[in-house]
Amino acid sequence: MSELKLDEETKKSLIGLMPFSQEATTEFTPEIFKKLDIGEEFKPVFTQRSFTRKERNEMRAGAMTFRGSDVFKYARISVVGWRNLYDLATGNEIEFSADKDKGASKELFGLISDEIAAELFNNASKISGLLSAEKMGLRSSPQSTPE
């Protein structure tokens, strides 16, 4: 086997095309925050895992009946951490808390906007090797309240 390792730039180019270990995580900042003229310390960074084989199969099987609440659910379970996520009312950082089964706390993740949840879903789908929501014929916006 080759001793060659992929550099970070090459890895980014190959996301969605090459396998991504289910034990691994990746950090993701939604595009909207990258465009804002604010300090890096105020741009949320989400730690995400790829979807399991079971989760991918569930999504593929339900692609034609996938709803906005499904996008929110799968985005939530892919998030295993975050930093720099602030409550605008209090100005305080929102500390990550995991749900008892998997992913982010349902209560805390329910505070996340639909736009950000959609980006998180799309990123998790991409690293999991799934077609994008648009290619699967799904809306990329949850347009529904979380579970």
Residue in 53, 5, 50 with CA at minimum distance from that of residue 28: 50
Residue in 16, 84, 83, 82 with CA at minimum distance from that of residue 51: 16
Extents of the domains making up the chain: 22-127
Cα–Cα dist 106/100, whole Å: 10
Compute the residue count for the chain: 147
Residue in 100, 91, 112 with CA at minimum distance from that of residue 46: 112
The predicted model gives 85-107 an average pLDDT of 94
pLDDT of amino acid 67: 77
pLDDT, tens digit (0-9, with 9 covering 90-100), for 63-73: 667 777 888 99
**Beta strand 25-28 pairing with 45-49:** antiparallel
pTM of the prediction? 0.79
Q: How far apart are the first and last CA of the chain?
A: 45
pLDDT, tens digit (0-9, with 9 covering 90-100), for 17-30: 566 666 778 899 99
